[in-house]
Structure 1
Amino acid sequence: MPETELYDLIIVGGGPAGLTAGIYAMRAAMKTVLVERGMFGGQVAVTKEVENYPGFITIGGSELCEKFLEHATSYDLEIIEKEVVATEPGVKFHTVRLANGTELRGHALILAAGGTARKLEVPGENENFGKGVSYCATCDGFFFRNKVVAVVGGGDTALEDALYLAKITSKVYLIHRRDEFRGSRILQERVFAERNIEIIFNAVVNEILADQSGVTGVSLKDTKTGEQRQLDTEGVFIFVGFSPNNQLVPAGIKKNTSGYVITDEKCETSIPGIFAVGDLRQKYANQIVLAAADGCTAALAAAHYVETCKDCKS
């Protein structure tokens, strides 16, 4: 492939948003390439079960991602499995630079880089990652069979993974800084009904305790009284939200105070021809179905944009 090959559309990211964009871009007969450095499906791929994607009462996260990828590749979507190191806006085309030195150029660019699990930023967290600290229950839950673990968070992911861990561990402490969960009502009902889960409201983890073998417990602080106590636990699973992977977003694109890209209803950013979708974009909620919708919207908008600049020359 020539280093200066010009595409109609370049998609950076292979999660639900990026793959859906690929489907719609190919259906629009655009010359398209999708670049993904790691695992297709993003966060969905490490989700044990998905129960809220239309058409599937329940489906494994990895299986759903495989269906996204299979659908996209059925249109002969070109895929490059390399790391993107930079994106550079232009007037006639936008440039995407890969780690191996390859340079891609496209009239339109869709950024679908997703997000990354947030950290608690407390002592003992970084030092014990992989030694009791985890951000993925389906990835690491097996190692804590019949052990006591703590889950930190109050959203859907925290509740889902607490329920998952309750089936394989001896006990789950579910720790949340507020006095009620943010997760969906149906998940809350399941958590409250699960005997193997002990809920601790109004508490924050201020340190993760460990010895040479790994995590031994957590130090908690009551958010109302300030009282501190320790819990013995061999694992800590942290689900306190995500931060957008905005490192590749060009400097001229507007973002909110949390780092999410601000777009219009077409998912277009403040730079014409560059779109942001999925967990990278500022919106009301982050759900798989909304990420897929973003991918559809951005691809259709990109197709219209490309039609207006077909006379652009590289």
Structure 2
Amino acid sequence: MKTFDVVVIGAGPGGLTAALYASRANLSVMILDRGIYGGQMNNTAEIENYPGFDSVLGPDLSEKMFNSSTQFGAEFGYGAVESIEDNGAKKIVHTDDGDYETSVVIIATGSEYKKIGIPGENELSGRGVSYCAVCDGAFFKGQDVAVIGGGDSAVEEGVYLTQLAKSVTIIHRRDQLRAQKILQDRAFKNDKIKFVWNADVKEIVDEDDKVAGVRYVDKETGEEHVVPAKGAFIYVGIEPMTESFKGLGILDDAGWIDTDDHMKTKVAGIYAIGDVRKKDLRQITTAVGDGGIAGQEAFNYIQTLSDADTKVTSK
């Protein structure tokens, strides 16, 4: 079993920042992720609201953050966390590739896009159904696509898709968008974007095992319509990635993690940061702020424990 002072679960902006602060405090740190470091930043074409940059590519910012977070010795490893065993001053992090003993766990697993649960969604995933315009938009150059949703992600990705697609139809269940006004303004000014309002989406239409359109019912008239589209991009909300932590008693009814202002959960030595927390604003900047607090709190917590019982490793 490998031992570290701190195990950070998740290598998005929050997790990387926490690792930076904890390792700079001379703690041994392992960053675990089931995929590449950077999290959802890798799926973002341009980031325009991160201080210090007028605009920066998501993958580029991921690389810069990773290099910064590991400069003081934090290690990075691949692994899907299955559970956390709370043994008081020491925790065991169980993964599909081995176990880690640690004094502090910082949960930074983030959130993921919700599915609608309609016919055709699962069957056509990867065949026209997507949750990432940056990842899959290039497959639909010169074609008609649909975006389902009306929040920030839906509108932002819809605007992005206009660089590639022939047309983009945003299909929303309400009569107005929920996105930030600056994003709405961009969408309304874009000649390539059309809108369908008050739509109850019923099906992703299948034709020869590929997306052919989106079928919906107009909630005001009860009429059924199909928006022709070769791609269907779904953005209808997010849910926390906390399945592995159900046994700890730190989740609310919806699966989010409650913390105090110091990122502490109900279990001593376990912290949560970023999009996995129950909070109002989920942005790179807020994740980074959470990470800085948690990294410092990890040091403070370990200092309160006796050297004999708690210092798992030392540099």
TM range (shorter): over 0.9
The residue that corresponds to 1:138 in the other structure is 134
SS at match of 1:97: strand
1:49 to 43, 46, 50: 46
- Equivalent residue for 1:127? 123
Output aligned runs, 1:102-121, within 5 Å.
Answer: 102-121=98-117
Which residue among 290, 294, 297 is the counterpart of 2:293? Answer: 297
Aligned partner letter, 2:55 = T
Moved >6 Å (runs of 4+): none
What is the RMSD of the two structures over their aligned residues, measured on CA atoms? 1.3
CA displacement at 1:250 relative to structure 2: 4.4
- Paired position in structure 2 for 1:162: 158
1:172 and 1:296 mapped to 2: Cα distance?
39
Which of residues 59, 63, 68 is equivalent to 1:66?
A: 63
Residue aligning to 1:285: 281
Do 2:8 and 2:106's aligned partners in 1 also have CA atoms closer than 8 Å?
yes
- CA–CA separation in structure 1 for the residues paired with 2:146 and 2:8: 38
**Residue pair 2:28, 2:73 contacting (<8 A) in 1 also:** no
Give the equivalent residue in structure 2 for 1:190: 186
Counterpart of 1:161, as a letter, is E
2:219 to 220, 223, 230: 223
Please list the CA deviations of residues 163-216 of structure 1 after superposition, one character each: whole Å capped at 9, or x if unmatched.
111121111101111122121111110000000000112113111111224011
Give the 3-state SS of the residue equivalent to 2:252 in structure 1: coil
1:255-284: CA deviation from partner (whole Å, max 9, x where unpaired)? 223211111111111111101111111011
- The 8 Å contact of residues 145 and 167 in structure 2, kept in 1 or not, is answered as yes
Q: Does 1:274 align with 2:270?
A: yes
Q: State the Cα distance separating 1:297 from its structure 2 match.
A: 1.1
Identify which range, 280-289 or 74-83, moves more after superposition: 74-83
TM-score, normalization by structure 2: 0.95
What's the counterpart of residue 173 of structure 1?
A: 169
Q: Name stretches of at least 5 consecutive residues in structure 1 with no aligned partner.
A: none
Partner amino acid, structure 2, of 1:68: M
TM-score, normalised to structure 1, is 0.95
Q: Distance in 1 between matches of 2:213 and 2:40?
A: 27
Aligned mates of 1:194, 1:310 — CA distance in 2: 61
The count of aligned residue pairs is 310
Measure, in 1, the Cα distance between the counterparts of 2:244 and 2:172: 32
AA partner of residue 36 (structure 1): D
Q: For 1:43 and 1:78, how far apart are their aligned partners in 2?
A: 20
Does the 8 Å CA contact 2:146/2:169 hold for their aligned counterparts? Answer: yes
Distance 1:225 1:296 in 2: 51
Instruction: Give identity over the alignment, percent.
Output: 38
Offset of 1:130 from its aligned partner?
Answer: 0.7
Deviations 1:40-66 (A, max 9, x none): 111111111111111111111111111
Q: Structure 2 CA distance, aligned partners of 1:41 and 1:253?
A: 28
Conserved? CA contact 1:107–1:309, under 8 Å: no
Counterpart secondary structure, 1:38? coil
Q: Which runs of 5+ in 2 are unaligned?
A: none
- Is 1:256 matched with 2:247? no
Q: 1:12 aligned to 4, 9, 12, which one?
A: 9
Instruction: State which of 201, 204, 208 in structure 1 corresponds to 2:200.
Output: 204
Q: Secondary structure at the match of 1:240?
A: coil
Map Cα deviations across residues 136-174 of structure 1 (whole Å, 9 max, x no partner): 111111110110000011111111111111121111101
Aligned-partner Cα distance in 2 for 1:254–1:80: 25
